[in-house]
Amino acid sequence: MKREELVANIARKGSFLCVGLDPDIKKIPAHLLEHENPLLDFCREIVDATAPYCVAYKPNLAFFESQGVQGWIALEETVKYIRENYPDQFIIADAKRGDIGNTSALYARAAFEHLGVDAVTVAPYMGSDSVKPFLGYEGKWVILLALTSNPGSKDFQFLETGNDKRLFERVIETSGEWAGPDEMMYVVGATQGRMFEDIRRVAPRSFLLVPGVGAQGGSLEEVCRYGMIPGDCGLLVNSSRGIIYASTGHDFAEAASSSASNIAAQMKSLLK
């Protein structure tokens, strides 16, 4: 999906919500466990319930991988289901991949050719040749980790690396030489609030994928105040647990729908 299309979808729906698909076999409603593929049916119902309120889905590969072959089937079928029924959704494989060039090329093939998603999250530690193989696919995106939402983000990402640049700023600056804002986004955690000002200094035009609103405590208002690009939005704000586990009973889909709808309503007013 091209940037213009994503921006148009956000404007049309009045939402920049990304729903994170983290289907934990130990957390999904018990009645689904009797189904042939519980993760798949869980994801399908969540997607049907939330699609009107979001512009993107982010299946988190760990949750599928932990179920082995069965999980991999659920992942492929979930992506296919979204593609066929909601073709205007942007699909992000949250994989945090990154390896030497020849191996990253295979991860790119897995994500873009086999799975057919629009974007994949990539870890920057191994540098240029670990990221570049994901680039150059028409309409596909790299979403590079910059400043994450977890406590461990403090361990390395804030290290001063000279020239008044912390590591996360250096990652954005250096990776800006590999790709422009039409094929690279950055992960920036919502828990970092004011940091969005610093991020916009080094990435004024880039879309940011923002986890950490909800379960992790980030504020949607702050993210928009400091991170939004006027006219373009430039944000995809992700919520996973707050939506997909809003209820763990038989009404999980209705609860997810209502949670997503609430966030979308907030977003609509923040977009104005």
Cβ proximity to a second copy: between 93 and 228 the closer is 93
By CB under 8 A, is residue 164 in contact with a second copy? no
Nearest to 188 by CA among 178, 177, 175, 200: 200
By CB under 8 A, is residue 69 in contact with a second copy? yes
- CB-based contact 250:242 (threshold 8 Å): no
Nearest to 90 by CA among 42, 54, 130, 44: 54
By CB under 8 A, is residue 33 in contact with a second copy? no
Contacts of 270 (CB under 8 A, 6+ apart): 220, 221, 224, 228
Site for a second copy in 212-231 (CB under 8 A): 216
The catalytically annotated residue of 80, 96, 132, 165 is: 96
Q: Which of 16, 22, 41, 91 binds a second copy (CB under 8 A)?
A: 22
Is 96 an annotated catalytic residue?
yes
Q: How far is CA 169 from CA 17, 134, 203, 234, in A?
A: 25, 21, 9, 18
CB of 35 to a second copy, least distance (A): 18
By CB under 8 A, is residue 103 in contact with a second copy? yes
Give the HSE-up count for residue 145: Cα atoms under 13 Å, Cβ half-sphere: 20
In the chain, the amino acid numbered 73 is I
Q: How many residues bind a second copy (CB under 8 A)?
A: 60
By CB under 8 A, is residue 271 in contact with a second copy? no
Q: Kindly tell me the number of DSSP H helices and DSSP E strands found in the chain.
A: 12, 8
Looking at the annotation, which residues are catalytic?
96
Interface residues with a second copy (CB under 8 A) are 22, 24, 60, 62-63, 65-69, 72-73, 76, 94, 96-104, 106-107, 109-110, 113-115, 123-131, 145, 148-157, 159-162, 167, 170-171, 174, 211, 216
